[in-house]
């Protein structure tokens, strides 16, 4: 088991830095490099001091990383002298133990969706990992994975594998839907589906009444209450408002 996952994060950070400098056509200042690496790796923080240490590490490995003035003469930027690499080829980026652990935790969190399109996707990705990752790394993964424990969720949607697929297709294509809800009382309604909101272990449909006013309140419905969903020929233009705004505004359950 690795003693510190931070070392694996450091590897990912340095590899991302190397690829970024290799692809750049001009020197990049600290902020440009930091922003790009934070976005790629999802880092909350990355200091200029850490960036300088990473660049010094690459220099120690023989990569010609330089800190030179930018065209405006007021700042310095990082660059990689590609004509000085002396045939050194940057290898393809490998999968790391940290990435594999994060993937397996994510897979465990998707367990409620076993049998749906989400589970099909995650299992296909797992198969590719297991096919291409060296056996020794998979053995290390078994030990490293024990750091985290995700409490097992029931596979809630196995009996209705097409429900999430149908709803996601209607959202993507902007198709109005008709749903039949379980009661009491059982009822039917027409909606403009907007998002599937995942809050493990449940999924809810965030939607608007099909014939409501422009300022109509959204409804949010646990999809387990949906007995049947039918996409209709009618289409609509999705509203340009963030789901978080709607949810933070207190979207309520379906109105009678």
pTM score: 0.64
Domains and CATH numbers, the chain: 6-84 (1.10.10.10), 97-147 (no CATH), 163-248 (2.30.30)
- pLDDT beneath 70, residues of the chain: 1-4, 84-93, 249-256
Q: What is the pLDDT of residue 3?
A: 53
CA 204, 189, 157, 162 torsion-angle sign = negative
Inter-residue contact 194 to 207 (CB < 8 Å): yes
pLDDT digits (tens, 9 = 90+) for 56-105: 988 887 788 999 888 877 789 999 887 766 656 666 667 788 889 999 99
Q: What is the pLDDT of residue 246?
A: 86
Backbone phi and psi for residue 233, each to the nearest 5 degrees, phi listed first: -70, -25
Strand partners, 208: 192
| Residue 35 tokens, joined | 């922003």
- Give CA–CA dist 251/239, Å, rounded: 15
Alpha-carbon Rg of the chain, whole angstroms?
Answer: 25
Q: What is the pLDDT of residue 89?
A: 60
């Amino acid at each position: 088991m690795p003693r510190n996952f931070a070392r694996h994060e450091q590897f990912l950070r340095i590899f991302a830095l190397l690829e970024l400098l290799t692809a750049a056509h001009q020197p990049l200042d600290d902020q440009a490099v930091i922003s790009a690496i934070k976005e790629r790796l999802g880092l909350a923080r990355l200091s200029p001091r850490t960036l300088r240490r990473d660049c010094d590490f690459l220099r120690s490995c023989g990569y010609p990383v330089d800190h030179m003035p930018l065209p405006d003469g007021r700042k310095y930027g990082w660059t990689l002298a590609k004509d000085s690499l002396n045939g050194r080829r940057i290898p393809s980026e490998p999968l790391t133990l940290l990435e594999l652990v994060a993937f397996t935790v994510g897979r465990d969190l998707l367990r409620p969706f076993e049998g749906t399109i989400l589970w099909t996707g995650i299992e296909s990705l797992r198969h590719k990992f297991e096919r291409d990752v060296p056996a020794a790394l998979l053995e290390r993964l078994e030990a490293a994975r024990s750091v985290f424990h995700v409490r097992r969720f029931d596979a809630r949607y196995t009996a209705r594998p097409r429900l999430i697929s149908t709803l996601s297709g209607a959202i993507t294509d902007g198709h109005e839907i008709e749903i039949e809800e379980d009661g009491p009382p059982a009822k039917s309604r027409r909606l403009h589906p907007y998002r599937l909101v995942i809050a493990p272990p449940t999924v809810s449909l965030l939607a608007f009444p099909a014939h409501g006013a422009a300022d109509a309140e959204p409804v949010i419905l646990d999809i387990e209450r949906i007995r049947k969903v039918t996409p209709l020929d009618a289409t609509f233009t999705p509203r340009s408002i963030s789901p978080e705004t709607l949810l933070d505004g207190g979207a309520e359950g379906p109105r009678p």
